[in-house]
């Protein structure tokens, strides 16, 4: 029924550990690439500026909503 016998628990743990180490290596590689790109100045693209703008507008929207709620409660008094 099974194509191979079920894995021993230690073997499972070893496989998970291997994948975690591979993941960490990939993350380190990605960080190194990103740092290199930042040094070159190519990572500063329109996307980053757009994200900054959206965060700024989101902050302003929160402030506007707070002011509006305050105003509404003032009108309800």
Is the pLDDT reported for residue 73 higher than 60? no
Spatial distance between the Cα atoms of 13 and 45, rounded to a whole number of angstroms: 41
On whether the CB atoms of residues 3 and 12 are closer than 8 A, the answer is: no
- What domain range includes position 61? 48-77
pLDDT of the residue at 11: 65
2 falls within a domain: no
> What is the Cα–Cα distance from 25 to 21, expressed in whole angstroms?
6
Is residue 1 in some structural domain? Answer: no
**pLDDT score recorded for residue 76:** 56
The pLDDT assigned to 48 comes to: 57
Provide φ and ψ at 30, rounded to 5°: -60, -45
9-64 residue pLDDT tens: 666 666 666 677 888 888 888 888 888 877 766 555 555 565 655 666 666 666 66
Whether the predicted model's global pTM rises above the 0.85 cut: no
Considering the domain architecture, whether residues 14 and 39 belong to the same structural domain is answered as yes
């Amino acid at each position: 029924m099974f194509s191979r016998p079920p894995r021993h628990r230690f073997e499972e743990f070893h496989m998970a550990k291997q994948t975690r180490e591979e993941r960490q290596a990939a993350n380190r590689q990605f960080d190194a690439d990103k740092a290199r790109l930042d040094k070159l100045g190519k990572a500063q693209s329109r996307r980053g500026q757009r994200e900054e703008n959206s965060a700024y507008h989101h902050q302003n929207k929160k402030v506007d909503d707070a002011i509006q709620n305050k105003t509404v409660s003032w009108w309800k008094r």
